[in-house]
Amino acid sequence: MIEVEIKVNLSNENPEKILESLLKMGFLKKEIKEQTDTYFNGIDRDFQITDEALRIRCSKTVGKNDEKIYVTYKGKKLDGISKTREEIEVEVFEVNSMHKIFEKLGFKPVRPIKKVREIYQKEDIEVSFDDVLDVGKYLEIEKVVSNNFERESALFELLDLLKSLNISTDKLEKRSYLELRRGNRE
């Protein structure tokens, strides 16, 4: 799968206005998730340099007791403006054992990134209002496609949506939450 994704910093935006526009366009609230993500660094290569990612995510819906755990690999970004990349994800059922397996193999965990993610959806587009601990508030717009042919038109679709929300493409953020946190205080 290819994750076509754009991200913008909300600190100079009006989230209420953005939400109002989304609802007008027919987006519906899906859920609010609390996510704790542990990223690992590579054994034979530095994922910061290769722009890859290996992650264990614990994700739970606010108000429910439904924690799910996912292991995700992300490939390097595929274009110069968005965060589009290959994404391979599986669900696992035991977080501590998964963590131990990666550590035993030599992968080095980074301090987890925690966030609350409020998700809105219309057809196959998801818009997330993310409140990331020690990082700030961001908006992510995402569409998952299955091949490279669909990638470009999906990106244009997301950029169009950004425009309809009155957000300039100058605001696009390519850095990950990990990199943004580093920039903030590490």
CB of 9 to ligand ATP, least distance (A): 12
Question: What is the H or E stretch that residue 129 is in?
Answer: strand 125-132
126 binds Ca ion (CB under 5 A): no
Q: For residues 39 and 61, give the distance between their C-alpha atoms in angstroms, rounded to a whole number.
A: 21
Tokens of 11: 């600190």
**Which residue among 18, 74, 142, 181 contacts Ca ion (CB under 5 A)?**
142
Q: Residue from 2, 4, 5, 132 that binds Ca ion (CB under 5 A)?
A: 5
Candidate segments 59-67, 73-81, 133-141, 166-174, binder of Ca ion by CB under 5 A: 133-141
Q: In sequence order, what are the residues at sequence separation of 6 or more whose Cβ sits closer than 8 angstroms to the Cβ of residue 162?
A: 6, 8, 141, 169
Binding partner of residue 157 among ligand ATP, Ca ion, none, CB cut-off 5 to 8 Å per kind? none
120 is catalytic: no
Distance CA 74, CA 53 (A): 5
Q: Which residues bind Ca ion (CB under 5 A)?
A: 3, 5, 140, 142
Point out the residues that are catalytic: 39
